[in-house]
């Protein structure tokens, strides 16, 4: 396994990005892992290694780079007195679809110069706050993203003019959505509204709601972790990537 941190040029500076790719002959299809709200941490590095182990060149951008290299202490998240949770949400709310799509263009430009990354269709995945951003990537860069996965994504359907679901007419690739059965961050209207937009535009997608799960069920380090559901999600993602990115 190869691991390297790089500085990707964006419209707003340089974005620290962690890259992973397998040993052996490349180049390898590219996959972008958009982080969740707690940001860069070892758990995401493990996810990247797992994806790279299936034959992909993986990028993990530090999306909070405009504020420096923010790192949060998960042990303090449960205690409001520490302010750690508020600091995390403040960082999360500093992002927008436009900013993240600008950063995604930087990633695409970087990949064009990276010999270990294969030209052609790309994949992406995102958890929690980045459900909105992977949907936006699929609709903003449809000629690049052929396989997109969102796990209990938030902000995918909103009443704002930049709501990601409004990009459904642009999507050319395959989408997968995994939602939790109970999720305080995903209003009840989101799934039916999302399905309606995707169906109306003939988008190739699959959407599952996992019984007896809550927000965060894919992360082993969280109390909400449900191994069977998390492993099923991985299996579906890897099957989609194999079909769309390795042909």
Q: Which residue has the tokens 């209003």?
A: 187
Residue 175 gets which letter from DSSP?
E
Query: Cβ(197)–Cβ(166) under 8 Å?
Result: yes
Give the separation between CA 9 and CA 148, rounded to whole angstroms.
23
Q: Which residues of 61-79 are buried (b: 16+ CB within 10 A; e: fewer)?
A: bbbbbbeeebebeeeeeee
What SS3 state is found at 5?
A: strand
In a structure prediction context, what are the per-residue pLDDT tens digits for the chain, which is 247 residues long?
899 999 999 999 999 999 999 998 889 999 999 999 888 899 999 999 999 999 999 999 999 899 888 776 676 666 676 777 778 777 777 889 999 999 999 999 999 999 999 999 999 999 998 999 999 999 999 999 999 999 999 999 999 999 999 999 999 999 999 999 999 889 999 999 999 999 999 999 999 999 999 999 999 988 899 999 999 999 999 999 999 998 7
In the sheet where 30-34 sits, what is the strand order?
Answer: 2-10, 13-21, 57-61, 30-34, 122-127, 145-151, 174-182, 204-214
């Amino acid at each position: 396994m190869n691991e390297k941190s790089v500085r990707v040029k964006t419209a707003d500076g340089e974005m620290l990005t962690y890259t992973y790719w397998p040993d052996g002959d490349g180049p390898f299809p590219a996959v972008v892992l958009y982080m969740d709200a707690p940001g860069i941490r070892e758990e995401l590095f493990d996810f990247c290694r797992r994806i790279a182990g299936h034959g992909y060149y993986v990028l993990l951008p530090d999306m909070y780079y405009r504020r420096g290299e923010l790192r949060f202490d998960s042990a303090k998240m449960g205690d409001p007195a520490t302010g750690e949770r508020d600091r995390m949400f403040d960082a999360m709310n500093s992002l927008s679809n436009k900013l993240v799509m600008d950063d995604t263009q930087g990633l695409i430009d970087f990949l064009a110069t990276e010999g270990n990354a294969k030209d052609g269709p790309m994949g992406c995945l995102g958890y929690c706050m980045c459900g909105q951003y992977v949907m936006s990537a699929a609709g903003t860069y449809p000629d690049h993203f052929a396989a997109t996965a969102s796990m209990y994504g938030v902000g995918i359907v909103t009443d704002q003019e930049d709501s990601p679901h409004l990009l459904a007419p642009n999507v050319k690739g395959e989408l997968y959505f995994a939602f939790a059965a109970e999720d305080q961050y995903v209003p009840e209207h989101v799934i039916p509204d999302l399905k309606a937009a995707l169906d109306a535009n003939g988008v190739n997608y699959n959407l599952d709601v996992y019984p007896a799960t809550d927000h965060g069920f894919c992360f082993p380090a969280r109390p909400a972790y449900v191994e069977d559901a998390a492993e099923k999600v991985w299996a579906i993602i890897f099957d989609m990537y194999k079909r769309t990115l390795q042909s």
